[in-house]
Every structure is written in structure tokens, then in C-alpha cells.
Amino acid sequence: MKAQQAMVSEVTTSSDANRSAAPVATRVVGVSKRFGKTSVLENINFDVAEGEALVLLGASGSGKTTILRIIAGLEQPYTGKVMLHGKDVTELPARERGVGVIFQSYALFPKMTVEKNIGYGLRIRHRKRKEIRETVDELLALVQLEEHRKKYPSQLSGGQQQRVAIARTLAYKPEVLLFDEPFGALDAQTRKHLRREIRALLRKVNVPAIFITHDQEEALELGDRIAVINLGHIEQIGTPLEVYSNPVNEYVATFLGAANILAGVIKSRNIEVGSALIPLHESDDFADGQKVKLVFRPEDVSLTKSGDAGPGPSCIARGIVEVTNFVGAYERVSVRIDFSDSCTDETDEEFYLTTQTPESQTSKAIIATRPKPEATAMRLKQGDRVAVNLSSFTVLPDLPPRQKEAPKK
Amino acid sequence: MSSIVPTMRHVRGFDVARPLSIGVLVFMMLPLVFLPLASIFIFGTSKGLTSFWAALMAPEAIFALKLSMVTSFWATAFNVLFGLFAAYVLSRYNFLGRNALIVTISLPTAIPTAVAGFALLLLWGPYGILGRFLAPQGIQTMFTAGAIILANIFVTFPLAFGVIKPVFDTMSRSLEEASATIGATRLQTFWHVTLPSLRGAIVSGALLTFARAVGEFGSTILVSGNLAGRTQTAPLYIFAKFNEGQIEAANAIAIVLALFSFLIFSVLFFARDWLDVD
């Protein structure tokens, strides 16, 4: 754990140094929230820098929406503070905070045209008509909806409605933009397209943004940084690359991307997994005999057929191909590792695959993915005997997963 | 056997059931609705339009029509505002006794109007629970135009509420939340966001209430005292003139009331698109 933290904080500090030039736009300090006796948020802390996009990633019920609503002022925290550009706004009602919320349903006013919707924030601030018209024109151009200005929200597509919702908040120059599951209501194609569009738009207007999503792909693409939220706690916060390649625990590893997890024990700077001994990273610091988990991504596994190139230096064991699945850009291979079958053992006996094999100590299924060229160059079929090599992995202490907190009396 | 017999329904592509069922429908409505309505017009105009006009222009008749309009207007104004307020409270807040309140508000439609009028007399009348304390002060509520308004409010109480509340219930909360985060006060949000969505419901609620109030008879005859030229509404006038045997006088007002309700319901029906515009 220490090793991981050290590594992560090292990386974080370096990226912090890059961000330190930009002032903090939004700061959430020690926020917790209870609904009745159930605790939904515990000690949430994070900063969003000027112009930065932070993604709060978590399963439904993780409390991510509550964080957003607390920042917006639609919900009061039990403890803690919300600061916007250095000002404590915790006690301010939503209308005095000046944050822009893009609701999941967009919440456009149905009886107002596109331009009325966009000008609403300025109208209620009693700005001059000329100023309102100029701002609305500017924003309509920005979100490319000039020809739709006289339409009503019900006459627009989902993507267009979302752009109106963004323009409506930009009109009053918000302190921060909060997106609540912005692409939840759209189909997969539109989603991808809009993600890029919003990312480009945010870069143009340079307003800090907080996104909420349960979609890891979306999180990786939208966020300058990602905060993984689980049961009201921030498990990890960092750049997409940091969080993906150095997850601090099993939850993060499995929630953000797919991960294979093998149980092991530390033996003199090696991890013993079955009969395989895998050398620890230089920076990893574990005691002898400590139980650990070996975490690796499917794309970090390379499979070699025995007899072909032979096992690589990073071979952990041999296994048998159970299923191969072609899923578009890559091939997914399920391999049942047999730890009694070490890498150096070069026998060429026939292996028989039985589907009824009970999950034993020495046998464990893992998932590997291979890019298409590799999959075509070396075809694998069910029952093939392969050597399993790891190009990269993370070692985590064997800790019990976070439990849902019992209601406090 | 039955498969050999050709079915009656489709004779060379002609659907017999269609004209047959429409015919039966119209035929059934004839004695029940169409003919009674038609009789009013046939009788009312049988002696020529001049005598119809003269009956209509009788001072008491004009007074009765005016009184009906004025009392219905105030009852409608009150019930629409109250219905709006009640719908807001009952759909926004959850509290103990909420359902009991909803049932109570809806109750007046189920109560016979004569009972409603009687209940008002027992409360406000000279010997009523409240009235007996007011009478010595010289405050007389019953047998005045005010009493007619009270009776109208009572019997049309749930109509506007019943139309407005469902719209409140289905209205997304995020609209109001969005308005708040944009910077609007509660009043601005209500005026710019909530009210426009209720426009259709308010207009149709008002029309329904007004139409019902204009026609109210049972409670009005008890609480108004039925004093010609003072507290006699249009329906009471019809009843009084009929009792006196002045069929023509009664008939003239009946035509006006029938046309009036016809007008209101046409508006409700044909302006539906405008009222529900999104």
C-alpha cells in the first residue's frame, strides 16, 4: 500500500506542478452528507483548477450526484465546505453561487425558444436588451445553433438540446460547469461524437468543469483528472493514465477498465503466485510472507504458443485456451492458468480440456486481449497450450473491500 | 356449418358495422340530449324573435344574468387562485394528513348541492354556528350576493385544483432547480418557468369552474333567498318564471345559458392544442 501511495503521490506531485500555474476554481473540503442515519458521503476533498475538467466516476449509488448537488447548492452538506474561486459558498443558496448545471434531462424551459432559454440568466439579472441580444448571438454562434434560435426545445435533437443547456449556463459566466451524466439519454454513436464536441467547447471557453458518469470510457476521454468514487469515498484521484496504470486498490482496478487479479504471497522480493515467482518492482515495499494481489490488464498479457518462440522472460505460468472471442478491434482470449505447469517445463504432452474442472488452488481463468494483427499472425483455438507472459502489473496488499457503512445510531 | 354462412360484416369490402354503430349512437342521444336542447330553441323562438328579445330584455331577466356572471366570476377567480396554491402545496410538500386534505378538497363534487347549500345555511345563517354571532353585529351573509359566491365556491371547489394538480405532479423538478442555479429567485422561477407550464391547466380549470358556477341551482336556491331583482340568479329565474307559468320568460334565459355553456365547451375542445402547447 505504502509503495503504491508513494508511487502515486510522486506522479501526482509532478502533475500538480504542471497545474499549479492555474488557480483553484473549485475546492471541496471535508464534505460529508447523511440522509437520515445513512451516510452517503464521507470526507470528500478535491480541487478543480481553472480550465480543468474533473470526472467523478462511480457506480450508481456511489454518491457522485450528491457531490454535484452540494457544489450547486441544491443540497446541503452535513459537514465540510465548498469554495468557488477562494470564496466559501457553503451557506449560499443555489441562485447566488453562479454555477452552471447541465442536468441529465437538460431541463430546458419548454415554453421558451432557444434564444429565450439562453438569455434567461441575463433577463432575470435585468441586463440591458442590447447586451442580452449580443450575448445570445455570440453563444448561438459558439454552439452552432443560429438557425434554430426560434425553435422550442421539443423541436431539437438530444445533442442540440444539450448545447442549448450549455449555452444557457455560459451566458452568465459560471464559476464552474457541472455536468450530471451528460450523455446518459443518448445513443452510443451520438455520445462519442458529443464527448469530443464538448471537450473542444470547454477548451475554447476555458471554464472548469466537473462531469459525473458511470461510464469509464467517457471518464477517460473527458477528464483531465478522474476521481473514482465508491460508497461515498474517493478511492483515487489522478490523471486518466495514473488511475488506469497505477490503481491504488482492487476496486479502482476493476471499475476503470478490466483487470485480472491473482492472489499471491511475498517471498524474498518475489511474489509467489502458484509455482511462479515474479520479481517485485524496485519501488514496491512489502514484508516477507505478506498476502498480496497481483493486478494486470488484459492487454498486458502476451500469449506465446509452446514450441513457437518459447516462453518470454516475464512468463508466469502456462495455461490452456478456453474461449476466443473476436470483439472488433481486438480478440479476447480466456486462458485457464495451471500453476502446477511451470514455464520451464517443456513437455509436449496432450492436454485435455474439461469444462467441469472445479476452481482449484492451482487453476485460475484470466482474460487476455490481443490486437487484430497479432491475433491473425498467431491463431489460437480452444485447447491450445500457451505460455502466459506479463509485460506490466501492479502489486496491491490483500485488503478486504470497502463495506457499505451500517446506519449510525 | 357456421363457416359456410357468409358473415354479415364484410360485404364486398363494405363495413356494415361502421354506419350501423354510428347510427345507433346518434339515435340513442336523440331523445336524451339533442331533442331536449332543440326544444328550448324551438319553443323559445316559436313566437318570433321579437317576443324572445322582449323576454330577454326584461329588467329582472337582465339582472339575473348579470348576477350569475358576476358571482360566477368571483367564485372562479377565487377557486383558480386557491386551486393553484393548493396544488403547489400538495404536490411539493409531503406531510402528515396530506392525502386526507386531497380527499377533503375533492369532496364537494360528491356532495349533493342541496346539502351544500343547507350546510352553508347552518354555518352562516342567522341561527347558524357562526352566523348567530355575526347577526347581532349587523353582518348578514346569507340571502345576499355574497352567499351565492360562497355557494359557488363550495360546489366548484375541486374543479380547478383537479385540473392543475396533475400538471404540477408531472412537472419535472429539475426545471425549477435549473432556474435556481441560473440565478432566479423563487418568485422569478414561478413566474417565468412554473406558471407558463400551467397556462393550459389554468385556463381550462377556469372555464370548467365558470361553466359549473353559472349553472348552479341547488345550493343557490337555499342560500340566496331567491329574491327577484336582488338575489335571483339566471337558473333561479328560469325556475321562478316556470312556476309562475311564464314559459316564454323562462325560455329566453334558458337559450342564453345553453348557448353560453355550448360556447365554453367549444373553446375547451377546439383550443385544446393551444392550451396544451409545449
* A232 Ramachandran zone, left/alpha/beta (phi>0; psi -120 to 50): left
Query: How many C-beta atoms surround the C-beta of residue A333 within 10 A?
Result: 24
Residues A265 and A272: beta-carbon distance below 8 Å: yes
All structural domains of chain B with their residue ranges = 9-44, 55-275
A–B CB contacts, 8 A cutoff, strictly below: 72
Contacts of A94 in chain B (CB under 8 A): 177, 180-181
CB–CB of B192 and A124 under 8 A?
Answer: yes
Inter-chain CB proximity B278 and A154 less than 8 Å: yes
With an 8 Å Cβ cutoff, the interface of chain A facing chain B consists of 72-74, 93-101, 103-105, 107, 109-112, 120-121, 123-125, 152, 154, 168-169, 172
Residues of B in contact with A97 (CB under 8 A): 181
pLDDT for res B47: 82
Residue of A nearest to B199 (CA): A111
Q: How near does any CA of chain A get to the CA of B222, in Å?
A: 45
The pLDDT of residue A234: 94
Average pLDDT, chain A: 84
d(CA A31, CA A200): 31
The answer, yes or no, to whether residue A407 has pLDDT greater than 80, is: no
Burial B201-218 (b: 16+ CB within 10 A, else e): bbbbbbbbbbbbbbbbbb
E strands, chain B, are 10-11, 14-15
What ranges in B171-246 are assigned the alpha helix state H?
Answer: 173-182, 186-189, 195-214, 218-224, 234-243
Contact assignment for A124 to B180 by CB distance below 8 Å = no
Amino acid A306: pLDDT: 63
d(CA B78, CA B84): 10
Closest Cβ opposite residue B182 in set A110, A152, A172? A172
Neighbours of A386 (CB within 10 A): 24
Cα A280 to Cα A287: distance, rounded to the nearest angstrom:
11
A50: amino acid identity, one letter: E
Q: CB distance B182–A105 less than 8 Å?
A: no
Handedness of CA B91, A112, A116, A104 (dihedral sign): positive
Give the N- to C-terminal CA distance of chain A in Å, as an integer: 32
Q: What residues pair up with A279 in beta bridges, in sequence order?
A: A270
B55-275 fold? MetI-like fold (1.10.3720)
Cα(B109)–Cα(B123) distance, integer angstroms: 19
Residue A286 CA from chain centroid, whole number = 28
Q: State what percent of residues in chain A have pLDDT above 90.
A: 45
For chain B, 278 residues long, give each residue's pLDDT as a single digit of tens: 445 555 555 556 678 888 999 999 999 999 998 898 888 888 888 888 888 888 889 999 999 999 999 999 999 999 999 999 999 999 988 899 999 999 999 888 889 999 999 999 999 988 888 888 888 888 888 889 999 999 999 999 899 999 999 998 888 889 999 999 999 999 999 999 999 888 888 999 999 999 999 999 999 999 998 888 889 999 999 999 999 999 888 999 999 999 998 898 888 888 777 766 44
Q: At what angle do helices B234-243 and B59-92 cross, to 10 degrees?
A: 140
**Digit-coded pLDDT (tens) for A199-226:** 888 888 889 999 999 998 899 989 999 9
C-alpha cell recorded at residue A32? 460529508
pLDDT over threshold 60, residue A388: yes
From residue A127, give the alpha-carbon distance in Å to each of A64, A109, A124, A385, B126: 35, 20, 8, 74, 58
Query: Cell 341561527 sits at which residue?
Result: B127
Q: What is the pLDDT of residue A307?
A: 56
In the 8-state DSSP scheme, what is residue A96?
A: G
Given pLDDT bands bounded at 50, 70 and 90, which one contains residue A313?
Answer: low
Question: pLDDT digit string (tens) for A22-64?
Answer: 688 999 999 999 988 888 999 999 999 999 999 999 998 899 9
pLDDT at A118: 96
Lowest mean pLDDT among A24-38, A236-250, A390-404, B135-149: A390-404
| pLDDT attached to residue A7 | 42
Give the DSSP letter of residue B10. Answer: E
Cell reading at A120: 434567461
Mean pLDDT across A189-206: 87
Q: Does residue A394 contact residue A327 with C-beta atoms inside 8 Å?
A: no
Most B CBs within 10 A among A124, A164, A166, A179, hence the mutation to make, goes to A124
**Interatomic CA distance for residues A265 and A274, integer angstroms:** 9
pLDDT above 90: residue A96: yes
Do B183 and A172 count as a contact with CB atoms less than 8 A apart? yes
Laid out side by side, the sheet with A24-35 consists of A38-49, A24-35, A79-84, A87-88
CB atoms within 10 A of CB A143: 21
